Every structure is written in C-alpha cells, then in structure tokens.
Amino acid sequence: MNAFDIYMILLKIVVSVQFMLILLKKQSITSVEFLISEMIFKLSLGGFLMIFFWLNKISEIRGSDKVIIGFAGVVLIYDAIHINLPNILEIYGIKFKPLEFIHSLF
C-alpha cells in the first residue's frame, strides 16, 4: 500500500467512527471535529477523482465518463468549500460567505 491508500483508509475510519458517535448521540453533526474531518475527506476524495482519472489511461473509460467523474470531484470540493468551511468558521465567530467574497474580487 502506498501513502495515499493509508491516508484514505484513515480518513474513512475517522468519518465512520464519527458517524457511529452521531448515531449513538455522543456527538452532533455540527461539532467542529466532524465538520473538519468531513471537509478534509471531501477535499481529498474530490481531488483524487479529478486527478487520478485524467492522469491514468484506462481503456474501459471513455472521455465523456472522465468528464462526469471529474465533475463529481469538483462538486465534492465545491461542497467542502461552500458548505463545510463557512459552518466551521461560523463556530469560531468568523462570518464568511464564499460567493460574496468572490463577487467582491471582481
């Protein structure tokens, strides 16, 4: 196993344990630990989906399939930045609205 495999397995274990804690009512979905681990998992998986399928040539996957898989990675990253990040920052009293920030740049 390479380092990325170990990294993804550890992330899956952390998310699974937190999911069980939520089911047992020991932790909530608004806790900082859960939101941070979920955001890291989404960013990692989204980046993997985008990069892996564009760099590796798999004969069974057509170009249109690669676009759909890459778009799934983009949606995961978008979800992490526009949903999880503002929720985490709000817990610490920082108001951050990604779309307003982007519009202020232009």
8 A C-beta contact, residue 31 and residue 84: no
pLDDT in tens, 33-62: 888 888 988 998 899 888 888 887 888 888
The pTM of this model reads: 0.76
Angle at which helix 32-55 crosses helix 3-23, to 10 degrees, equals 140
What sign does the CA torsion over 44, 50, 54, 58 have? Answer: positive
Which pLDDT score is estimated for 101? 65
- Please give the torsion angle defined by the CA atoms of residues 19, 14, 42 and 46, in that order, rounded to the nearest 10 degrees: -130
8 A C-beta contact, residue 80 and residue 91: no
